[in-house]
Amino acid sequence: MATPEFSERVSNAASSAPRRLEVPEVRRARPATGKVRFWIVLDLLTILVAAVLATLWKAHTGPLAGAKGFWHGTLFHGRPMGNLLALTAGFAIALILTSRRLHLYTPKRLTGILHEQRLSVQACVVSALLLTGTLYLIKAEDIPRSIVLLTIGLVTVSLSVRRLVYRIHMYKQFQRGVGTRNVLIVGAGPEAHALRHHLESLRHLGYTFKGFIDFPGPGSRLAVASSDVVGTLETMFQATRKLFVDEIFFTTACERSIVHRVLDQARRNGIDLRVVPDMYDGVSWNSPIEYIGQFPTIPLHSGHVPELGLLLKRVMDLIVAFLTLVVLSPVLLAVSLAIKLDSPGPVFYFSDRIGKKGRVFRCIKFRTMVQDADTLRAGVLHMNERDGVLFKISRDPRITRLGSFLRKFSLDELPQFLNVLRGEMSIVGPRPPLASEVREYKLDHLRRLHVMPGITGLWQVQARQDPSFDSYISLDVTYVDNWSIWLDLQILARTIRVVLAGTGT
């Protein structure tokens, strides 16, 4: 069952053997390689576009004439195009290597805006010095220095502005609770309380404190409210599942064998693990220190997160949702008018649902029932055709005449594309459950809440008419464990067939 804190939010909405210590094995935390490649590609495109624009502007020529000059090797008299491409590539490689050296591709939450901007300018300056030094050594007087300086300037401004815009967007998402990382703190000493205060005061870091893990270490302990203690070391990983925890911070001194045992469990559960340097006692001599704001931590393990895939999924969501709302706007208007003419009441029906990591949001649908349908639910509970916590009636007397048609072709769910644009739902994912359903979930059932809920999903296209709650959960967990962009595309294709076949109820 869910913890009291999680249950309260829902209600308001409606032991492994340790490794051998002789050879301690601790993996360094590394940024997701997919997303690093994505940022590198963006940097390369920025350099290419800046070089083209600077050349066209300074040469007083158009894109077509510039392309012909490049193709025929006459862009700069007497300078082979191969040399120009080699210089541009060298500048790009220098910028990328310098940026990686300055950790500009590490998680954005670990640095501040001004620090990132300073490092971005520093990377461009270092790369520019290498480029101008190369031009001097090869005596390339025929290449206008104005084009070189303009290219460097455009690259510097473009990279700085792009990183600034992305960070501002990320901060706004954190304020809405989107993309934040839930953390547990092991220990209750001064370091633990200082870390909690640090995380809660620096909201732009994107961390959400979920509770303390009680551990009677040798250090002093401060008074902790009972509601802030969510478990012990033995029950810690049960708490991580109930609270959708992403990272664990160790702030209390303990035996190395305990840290290794926790590290093994963190790897199996895909949870990041960090320790405060004062207590690590040599358990990870080679690991780098990462600052969470001004608080030093040592990452012992970082779980794999397909950040590039998730980014592509979000881009796909935004494109599909926007195009759907624009293309089907006449249909949306017609349905709205038909609902007003068919029965008294509002056009839209708003329902509080449970989203990713237990977030409560308002799900939007076209109204398909009579106006007081929620108050009449108790009278039709005996007609429920589903088992477990699910509730569904194929011939629900509360459904209006138009509502039956809208449900048959899933037209009532079209407004949920607004939830997708708001970042509360995805196109594909488990259906968002009601608060009353989540209160009945077992611990394993909460796994379906680890991802963004969707308008359509594996269960909808494969077992929509199956009354089994176990099948419902099994398919959703299968989706969570095997997610990929290709799986989403397959589900979307099958959804189109299901909608056209009119199998909705």
How high is the pLDDT of residue 96? 92
DSSP character string of 253-321: ---HHHHHHHHHHHHHHT-EEEE-GGG-TTTTTTSPPEEETTEEEEEEE-----HHHHHHHHHHHHHHH
How high is the pLDDT of residue 66? 47
How high is the pLDDT of residue 455? 92
Residue 15 to residue 167: CA distance in whole angstroms = 41
Question: What is residue 429's three-state secondary structure?
Answer: coil
How high is the pLDDT of residue 219? 54
Residue 458 to residue 472: CA distance in whole angstroms = 9
Q: Which of 441, 485, 479 has its CA nearest to residue 460?
A: 479
Question: What is residue 363's three-state secondary structure?
Answer: strand
How high is the pLDDT of residue 18? 35
How high is the pLDDT of residue 295? 61
Q: For the packed helices 33-58 and 81-101, what is the interaxial angle rounded to 10 degrees?
A: 140
How high is the pLDDT of residue 335? 93
Q: Which of 145, 158, 157, 160 has its CA nearest to residue 55?
A: 145
Cα dist from 495 to 99, 469, 470, whole Å = 43, 21, 22
Q: Please, where in the chain does CATH 3.40.50.720 lie?
A: 4-30+180-305
CATH match for 4-30+180-305 among 3.40.50.720, 3.40.50.300, 3.50.50.60, 3.10.129.10: 3.40.50.720
How high is the pLDDT of residue 86? 83
Q: Are 452 and 356 in contact (CB under 8 A)?
A: yes
The sign of the CA dihedral 321, 327, 330, 335 is negative
CA angle 144, 97, 169 (to 5 degrees): 95
Tokens at 334, concatenated? 């017609």
pLDDT tens, residue order, the chain (505 aa): 455 555 555 555 543 433 332 333 444 444 456 678 888 889 999 998 888 888 777 655 545 554 455 444 445 555 566 677 788 888 999 999 999 888 888 766 666 788 889 999 999 999 999 988 888 887 777 677 788 888 899 999 999 999 999 888 888 888 887 888 899 998 877 778 888 888 887 777 888 899 998 877 655 555 566 678 888 888 898 888 888 898 998 887 777 778 888 888 888 888 888 887 654 444 444 455 566 666 666 666 666 667 778 888 999 999 999 999 999 999 999 999 999 898 888 999 998 999 988 888 999 999 988 887 777 776 776 666 666 666 677 677 788 889 888 888 889 999 999 999 998 999 999 999 888 888 888 887 888 888 899 999 888 887 666 657 777 788 888 888 888 888 889 888 888 888 877 665 5
How high is the pLDDT of residue 336? 93
How high is the pLDDT of residue 160? 92
